[in-house]
Amino acid sequence: MSIFREKLEKCARVNDSRVVLALDLSVSTRKKDYREKLLEMVRRVLGDVREHIAGVKVNFQLLLPLGLFEGIQMLIEDAAGYGLPVIMDCKLNDVGHTNEWAARHFFDAGFDALIANPFVGWKDGLERVFSVAKEYKRGIILLVYMSHPGAVEGYGQKVISGRKVRFQYEVFAERAKAWRADGVVVGATRPEIIRRVSEIIGGELPIFSPGIGFQGGLIGEAFTAGASYAIVGRSIYQSENPKESALRIKTEINRVLG
């Protein structure tokens, strides 16, 4: 088990939570000092909900305005102080040398794991990313099925694998297991796919499920199907009381899991 998974599972136990906070906040670029305001917002939300989450996910909505070694660095340091692992949702999907360069920068900035897209393949694709992660003792999570409706056009398409016609996401789930990834992402909006992926990986990898709340994913359906963690953003940070919302979601997940 990677250090990332150990850290994540420890936080899940300590905080009794299966919630990964998606800090995908944004503010209008027309506002004066919008970068400073954005950083202040995300740090405040993280501080409010820290006792009710197991980890944090960051994507380009924060990375681009705040800067990898500037505002993002401060956010990562905050999370580390709370004992929370931070995942970079970059969906890495390029040629090998570019992937390696990006991964090194993300890990140097302090990210505990990153999300990569298996569409790019292994040889001179994600092979270098996994190698760098091993060197840094960090984690790689593979994107198996996204939460938006258009995901069916790519991850849900049928492909020829060997001599069989299969769904693309089934092939990706098998790759995640074979490549020894640290988890997979499957949208909570498709519980039947969570169930199928869970069958393929056989409980060896955690399933991270985004899409609960604003996109229509349901906690009961996702976790009954086999989700391990819920990635939740707007339902928490856009609420009037993020702390209470995080607690409510955490409690509902725990009720489903028994």
Cα separations in angstroms, 109 against 14, 30, 160, 182: 25, 28, 39, 20
Please indicate whether residue 37 is annotated as part of the active site. Answer: no
**Among 91, 134, 177, 250, the one annotated catalytic:** 91
Contact 252, 229 (CB under 8 A): no
Exposed (0-12), middle (13-18) or buried (19+): which is 3, by Cβ within 10 Å? middle
Active-site positions read 91
